[in-house]
Amino acid sequence: MPASNWPNSMRAQFLCQRPCRDREFKSLREGCGLDNQSESGLIANCGHSTMRRFTAVLLGLTLVSAAALAQSSRFVIDDDEYLERITNASARLLQGGRLKSVDWLRSQLPAKRHAMKLAPVSSVKLAAPDLYDRLRESTLAVGSYYKCPDCGAWHFNSSAGFVAGEGGIVCTCWHVVAGEDSEVKESYLIAADSAGQVFPVQSVLAADTEADTCFLRIAAAGLKPLPLRANVRPGERVYCLSHPGGFHFMFSEGVVARVTRGRLDVLDEHGQPKLEAGRSRSVLSPVRAARRSWTKPRM
C-alpha cells in the first residue's frame, strides 16, 4: 500500500524511518523535525514524543503478532471441507486399487485376542486445551466410504477411533465394521486423521462383539498411540474426543459413573446396537476400562 494511503497515525510514526521526498508529507516532516536536508533526502531529528509513539507502535505490533501466532496454533475445523478432503482422497485410493471392501473385512471376524505393544502410561498432567491437542494427534475418523444408493455420489460416514499401537493398530467400535445397510452395494473402510489424510483399513485384528470393540490395522506409519490404563474407579474424571452427529473432533468431559462386567444394549431390527442421538461410546482419555458406557449431554 503506498504511503499516501497510510492512516495519519501510521504515516507520522513510520515516515521518519526512511528518507522522504514527497511534498505531501511536508507537514509531517516539520512535525518530526525533518529540518536538515542533504543530497540524498531529508535527515530526521525526531523528538522524544515521536520515538515514544514509534516504540508504542512496535510494542503493539509485537502483541498483535503474538496473538496471531496463538490464534494460528488453534485447531479450527470446517466439517464440510473436512469431509470433502476425505472423499477426494478416498476416490484416489479407490482408483488406485488400495481400498478394502467392508464386506471383505466383515468376513474376517477373527479371534478375540491379538498381542500388541502398548504405549507407556504418562504421568504428566495436561490442561484441558493441551490434552485436546494431544488426543487429536491419535484420534481418527473411522468409517465407510460408500456409493450412495439415493444420489449415486460417494460419501464418508465417520465414527471415532484411536491409534492403540504401533504399526497402524487402531481401536474403534465393532458396529463400524459389522453394521450393514442393505441398500448400499459398494463400500470401503477407511480411517482419516484430523488433517484429512486418509489411510486404508487393511485387516481386522481382533473383535469383541459383546463389548462392541475391535482392533484394525491401517496402512499408516509413524502414528502416535494413546496409552491404555486399567483399574479405573467410579468418579474419576474422563475426557472424550469424538465425532457425534458428524461434528468432528468435539471435546467433552465427564466422570466414570460405574464399572460393570457386562453391557445392556437396545438392539435394532438387524440385531445391532441402537445408538440414540447424543449418545456415544467413543474414546475416553485415558482409556479407563474394557467395557463402559458413556452418555454425552443432549444437544
Judged by average pLDDT, the poorest of 36-40, 112-116, 237-241 is 36-40
DSSP annotation of 276 reads: P
What sign does the CA torsion over 158, 162, 165, 168 have? positive
Q: Where are the alpha helices (DSSP H) in 73-170?
A: 79-95, 102-106, 128-138
Mean pLDDT computed over 291-296:
35
Q: How far is residue 46 from each of residues 3, 18, 41, 90, measured CA to CA in Å?
A: 19, 12, 15, 62
pLDDT at 74 over 60: yes
| Top-confidence residue, 284 or 73 | 73
pLDDT of residue 152: 94
The model's confidence at residue 111, banded by pLDDT at 50, 70 and 90, is: low
Mean pLDDT computed over 144-168:
95
Tens of pLDDT along 157-201? 999 999 999 999 999 999 999 888 889 999 999 999 999 999 999
**Range ranked top by mean pLDDT from 24-33, 34-43, 200-209:** 200-209
| E strand spans, 49-208 | 139-147, 154-165, 169-172, 187-192, 198-208
Q: What are phi and psi of 135, to 5 degrees?
A: -65, -40
Q: Which pairing describes strands 187-192 and 139-147: parallel, antiparallel, or unpaired? A: antiparallel
- Residues across the chain: 299
Q: Where are the alpha helices (DSSP H) in 115-243?
A: 128-138, 174-178
pLDDT at 27 over 90: no
| Top-confidence residue, 268 or 151 | 151
pLDDT of residue 32: 45
The model's confidence at residue 211, banded by pLDDT at 50, 70 and 90, is: confident
- Stated as kind and residue range, the H or E segment containing 38 is strand 36-38
Please state, as a whole number, how many other Cβ atoms lie within 10 Å of the Cβ of residue 198: 27
pLDDT at 289 over 70: no
The model's confidence at residue 266, banded by pLDDT at 50, 70 and 90, is: low
Query: What is the rounded distance in angstroms from the CA atom of residue 156 to the CA atom of residue 184?
Result: 12
| Top-confidence residue, 88 or 67 | 88
In terms of Cβ atoms closer than 10 Å to its own Cβ (0-12, 13-18, 19+), residue 218 is buried
Domain ranges of the chain: 3-72, 79-285
DSSP annotation of 120 reads: P
Query: What is the rounded distance in angstroms from the CA atom of residue 150 to the CA atom of residue 163?
Result: 33
Query: What is the rounded distance in angstroms from the CA atom of residue 201 to the CA atom of residue 198?
Result: 10
Amino acid identity, position 74? R
The model's confidence at residue 73, banded by pLDDT at 50, 70 and 90, is: confident
The closest alpha carbon to 212, from 280, 297, 144, 156, belongs to 280
Contacts of 221 (CB under 8 A, 6+ apart): 167, 168
**Please, are residues 206 and 113 in contact by the beta-carbon 8 Å criterion?**
yes
Tell me the CATH number of domain 79-285, given options 2.60.40.10, 2.40.10.10, 1.10.287.610, 2.40.128.130. Answer: 2.40.10.10
Q: How far is residue 210 from each of residues 103, 268, 273, measured CA to CA in Å?
A: 20, 15, 10
pLDDT at 125 over 50: yes
The residue written with cell numbers 500500500 in the block is: 1
Query: What is the rounded distance in angstroms from the CA atom of residue 19 to the CA atom of residue 12?
Result: 13
Contacts of 225 (CB under 8 A, 6+ apart): 118, 119, 138, 163, 164, 165, 166, 169
